[in-house]
Structure 1
Amino acid sequence: MKKINWVYIPLLFVCLLMSGCSEFDSLLNSEAKGAQAQVEGEAVVSYLDVGQGDSTLVQTSDATVLIDTGRHDRDVIFDHLDELGVDTLDLLIFTHPHADHIGNGDGIIEQYQPDEVWIDGNETTSQVFERLVDALLASDADVVEPMAGDTYTVGSLQFDIVNPGEELTGNLNNDSISFIMHYGDTSFLFTGDAERPSEQRIVDTGLPLQADIYHMGHHGSSTSSHDFFLEEVQPEVAIYSAGENNSYGHPGVDALSRVEAAGAEVYGTIDDGTITIRTDGTSFDIETEN
């Protein structure tokens, strides 16, 4: 577990965060060191259609987790969460501080009061990031910087962290918090905007990477989802989050070809809208909005 290192946060707040992190670390890791959490009922994982951005909601009988919060110039995420019956969040994960991932972070924190928030430790000077910091300062959330090799449990969900390492590179994409989320025997891989250097670093850790469902890195960009990485993941399903007619060329043709060649069935928010996976921990079903 790394210490919070935001140099502009008051010393008292840093102390509070360090205290909160220690408590959170003890709670989650102590649970995770035993047998994998028992599952009851189904987990619903919704890859939300938020345009050219990322946001995924995970709901089980004992936990609600939100991964990223969409773009700074679109607030459709609040409609999604309202429709899905979200009142509070147990865990809010910001994979990295780009505006299309933390865009509604301040509003989400203020409205849903998450118990814990994960960040990667990088800082930016954007107004979006500054608003996020202000919201964290005003909240009671424990703030944690997970790193490769850590394992946490949140309710019946288990999170195995594979990135970043102990030292950040300073590259916002490649320092993305990346993890495999397990619900029973069903596994989901999230890598934020991690690109080839990060994928290589993740493989080099030797940590297990196999996952049934792979959320394609960097919105399906061809800078991510390389063959050597896919050989380790061996996904059955690949999902990308991207907006229609975006200026970045997402998803990339090369990346789509690589995941298809790896045997994965591909879904994307551009064509499918919100993509929902339901699993009882043994098998899973896929539903699409469109």
Structure 2
Amino acid sequence: MMRKRFSYFHYFIIIIIPLISFMVFQKDLDSTIKNRYSMINKNFQVEAKFMSHPFLEHHRIKGEIMINKTFYKYTYHPKNVETKAISNFLWQKSCNVNGQFKAVNPNFKSNLTFFIQNIEFSSCKSYSSTLIDLLHRHKAFIYKKLRQWDINSPEKAIAFITGNTAQMEKDEIEKIKDIGIYHLLAISGTHIAIIIGIVFYMCNLFKCPLLFIKMILLFLLPVYCFYTNMSPSAIRAVSMSLIILIFPKYIMKNAVDVLGGLFIVLTLINPSLIYHIGFQFSFLITFFILFSSPLLTNVSPFKSLIYITLIAQLGSFIISAIHFHQIQWIGLISNLFFVPFYSFILFPLVIILTCFIHFPFKITMLSILYNNVVFIHDKFVENFEKINSFKWYIPVLNDLQITGICIILFVNLLLLVNKHFKMFIFALVILYIFSTVIPQSKDYQLTMLNVGQGDAFLFETQKHEVLLIDTGGQFNSKQTTPNHNISKYHILPTLKRHNIKKIDYVVITHPHIDHMGELEYLIQKQPIENIIINQKSFKPEELNHLRETSQKYNVKLLDFKNKPRFLMDKAHINLLDATILNSDNLNEQSIIILIQYRKYKILLMGDATMNNESILMQKYNLYNVDVLKVGHHGSKTSTSEALLQATKPKIALISVGNNNRYGLPNKLVINKLQSLGAKILQTHTDGEVSILFRDNILLQTHTD
């Protein structure tokens, strides 16, 4: 049999399609980023439709609004008003509001949140209902009925039905992510297949003709897609299912072609979909599974489950590596239990519960059954989390490394499909080396983390010993508990990017919330060996609480006067004492840190004042430092002329929040640094900054 030869036209298509795709998607990306930054932190007076039933979280009202035909999450903190009464009033109203768009997650692909500052209640009016409004109203009805049926965590049931996890407990979501089953909460082919199965089963009971069943599904599935707020993964699953229903014979022979065609059509309609992580996961994993169909024929259900789990892990690898810098290896084990558990028990039960909940009477046995099933689910999540001790982090990858990993992944897939299992295992080792070992930085480096109006600095050695200086932190007096967004979206992602699994030392310069607000959360989430503090600067109750927390998580708590210096590989860490014992100003209790590595000197001033600086220069022979962490975020109470003339820093680092209420950094401090010729780097303009200490200093910036 002769093979078809490639014509010049085929080569032309192979070359031109990637070029056109790049231009289309790059243009959309540039437009998205430009539009995003034109909206962030600017005041808007707009008309907003309150689409979803508001819910309360830490005395704040949250939900979904529509502004200019676009959905956004919103947060509103009423002043001196009963929040519950306000939340009930706002639902299904259109009101004039004033507020700002903010990025809770700094990643440009994440949705903006609208922080409402004021609502003109006199302008509020009910709006006419559309299909989307009716669906939101129905979701609110279901939530209300779930509570009436005594369903534990109705927010979780809503997430199972719609894929919307907004109302779930954040820690619970993190647990599900950690064990590699978060994809099961996203609307996927599994959800759609179960819905189709239930419809077929119910219709067959009444001996309905096949055409009638298909007509029902052709109406029901698009409605369900709207019900999920048109999530990209739902769009893919529903679109593919509709095509299968209409052209079943063609799909069986050309499934990969149909998937590719569907991808092209959807991205041409909305190019921004390609940057949606759920969309990427959905298509790439589906492609890997369809490509591997020869491997899945004539095998037992259990073996098929093992293969599909492994294939899905390969399909999700590069996306997880780029976006999350972590591979949830435990998913290989956890999915063997949770995929059939979700597919055959939990999802069908949720759908049955959703149907029966419309009845005017309560079916107690059904609610008890559901609560017990969810209890079993949660227990297994906890148990899998306990065994998930090894973390597989992926460092930042360059374009060449990403291309190489994609090639290795496809080779792995080919070896698996052709059942060359020994070669497949060898290729997995190559994948680990190429994705994790080779990209790992071999430099001594200092990183100024972008934690807003606070301080957090990370020092690493060639042997991956780690020193974290302060943690940043924000705590609004209106909150009952901190949300730890600084840790979730800034500190922990940076630790993953740097492949840091353990912190050797944490130094807290002084006990202000913007320097240690994230400490307790980090102790819980990240292995830490030692915490060094100035014990005399802490209140007795604060110190006792920190001691108890440290003991609970096997962390050594040390006073800096008992460990004034230590080595980290070839770097000398000196904790300098220029504190003023009787001062009521906690800034004057700051630990000052001098790091010396080879010819380089790094001086980190904490929030030390000019009074501390005078003591510092009297006690220690400081001169000519390479990097100065400017004291107190660039306040005029720090960074004296005498200190600058002695140290003559080449690089000045200022950790400061954008548009902060203190007006920092102070212009006088900036002018003094500029007059010395120091290169000034600030988190609010430069983002996260890393300084690599090689034969010469190399600067790197990272903005999400």
Residue of structure 2 equivalent to 1:189: 603
Give the AA of the match of 2:459.
V
1:108 corresponds, among 496, 509, 522, to 522
- Given that 1:194 and 1:218 are in contact with CA atoms closer than 8 Å, whether structure 2 keeps it comes out as yes
Residue of structure 2 equivalent to 1:87: 501
Residue of structure 2 equivalent to 1:69: 471
- Given that 1:106 and 1:131 are in contact with CA atoms closer than 8 Å, whether structure 2 keeps it comes out as no
Residue of structure 1 equivalent to 2:643: 229
User: Aligned equivalents of 1:126 and 1:248: distance in 2?
Assistant: 29
Map Cα deviations across residues 32-59 of structure 1 (whole Å, 9 max, x no partner): xxxxxxxx95212110101111111112
**Aligned pair 1:283/2:696, yes or no?**
yes
User: Aligned equivalents of 2:688 and 2:474: distance in 1?
Assistant: 19
Comparing 88-97 with 109-118, which one deviates more in the overlay?
109-118
Q: How many residues align?
A: 249
- Given that 2:633 and 2:655 are in contact with CA atoms closer than 8 Å, whether structure 1 keeps it comes out as yes
Residue of structure 1 equivalent to 2:320: none
Map Cα deviations across residues 232-268 of structure 1 (whole Å, 9 max, x no partner): 1110010100010111111111111111112211110
Residue of structure 1 equivalent to 2:633: 219
**Closer, same or farther: CA 126–190 of 1 in aligned 2, 3 Å:** farther
Map Cα deviations across residues 194-248 of structure 1 (whole Å, 9 max, x no partner): 0111111111114324310001000111111110011111100101000101111
**Aligned pair 1:244/2:645, yes or no?**
no
User: Aligned equivalents of 2:563 and 2:621: distance in 1?
Assistant: 8
- Given that 1:147 and 1:177 are in contact with CA atoms closer than 8 Å, whether structure 2 keeps it comes out as no
- Given that 2:547 and 2:557 are in contact with CA atoms closer than 8 Å, whether structure 1 keeps it comes out as no
- Given that 2:624 and 2:647 are in contact with CA atoms closer than 8 Å, whether structure 1 keeps it comes out as yes
Map Cα deviations across residues 46-84 of structure 1 (whole Å, 9 max, x no partner): 101011111111122221111111114433322222232
Give the AA of the match of 2:697.
F
TM-score using structure 2 length: 0.34
C-alpha RMSD over aligned residues: 2.5
Q: Taking every aligned residue pair, what percent have the same amino acid on both sides?
A: 25
Residue of structure 2 equivalent to 1:17: none
1:123 corresponds, among 530, 533, 538, to 538
| 1:19-98 matches, cutoff 5 A | 41-62=442-463, 63-73=465-475, 74-75=485-486, 76=489, 77-98=491-512
What are structure 2's unaligned runs of at least 5 residues? Answer: 1-440, 476-484
Residue of structure 2 equivalent to 1:198: 612
Cα offset for 1:90?
A: 0.7
Map Cα deviations across residues 149-204 of structure 1 (whole Å, 9 max, x no partner): 93321222211232235946453101111021112211111010001111111111
Comparing 175-184 with 150-159, which one deviates more in the overlay?
150-159
Give the AA of the match of 2:529.
D
1:173 corresponds, among 583, 587, 595, to 587
User: Aligned equivalents of 1:279 and 1:102: distance in 2?
Assistant: 27
- Given that 1:181 and 1:187 are in contact with CA atoms closer than 8 Å, whether structure 2 keeps it comes out as yes
Give the AA of the match of 2:659.
N
Residue of structure 2 equivalent to 1:163: 577
Larger strand percent? 1
User: Aligned equivalents of 2:471 and 2:579: distance in 1?
Assistant: 24
User: Aligned equivalents of 2:454 and 2:541: distance in 1?
Assistant: 17
User: Aligned equivalents of 2:508 and 2:570: distance in 1?
Assistant: 21
Report SS of the residue matched to 1:78: helix
What are structure 1's unaligned runs of at least 5 residues? Answer: 1-39
- Given that 1:68 and 1:93 are in contact with CA atoms closer than 8 Å, whether structure 2 keeps it comes out as yes
Residue of structure 2 equivalent to 1:33: none
- Given that 1:66 and 1:92 are in contact with CA atoms closer than 8 Å, whether structure 2 keeps it comes out as yes
Give the AA of the match of 2:646.
E
User: Aligned equivalents of 1:149 and 1:197: distance in 2?
Assistant: 24
TM-score using structure 1 length: 0.78
User: Aligned equivalents of 1:247 and 1:134: distance in 2?
Assistant: 35
Give the AA of the match of 1:194.
A
Comparing 74-83 with 53-62, which one deviates more in the overlay?
74-83
Give the AA of the match of 2:698.
D
**Closer, same or farther: CA 86–211 of 1 in aligned 2, 3 Å:** same
User: Aligned equivalents of 1:107 and 1:52: distance in 2?
Assistant: 18
**Closer, same or farther: CA 163–139 of 1 in aligned 2, 3 Å:** same
Larger helix percent? 2
Cα offset for 1:148?
A: 11
Report which of the two structures shows the higher radius of gyration computed on alpha carbons.
Answer: 2
Give the AA of the match of 2:565.
T
- Given that 1:159 and 1:180 are in contact with CA atoms closer than 8 Å, whether structure 2 keeps it comes out as yes
Give the AA of the match of 1:252.
N
User: Aligned equivalents of 1:149 and 1:210: distance in 2?
Assistant: 25
- Given that 1:181 and 1:189 are in contact with CA atoms closer than 8 Å, whether structure 2 keeps it comes out as yes
Cα offset for 1:104?
A: 0.7
Report SS of the residue matched to 1:173: helix
Report SS of the residue matched to 2:665: coil
User: Aligned equivalents of 1:50 and 1:240: distance in 2?
Assistant: 11
User: Aligned equivalents of 2:556 and 2:562: distance in 1?
Assistant: 19
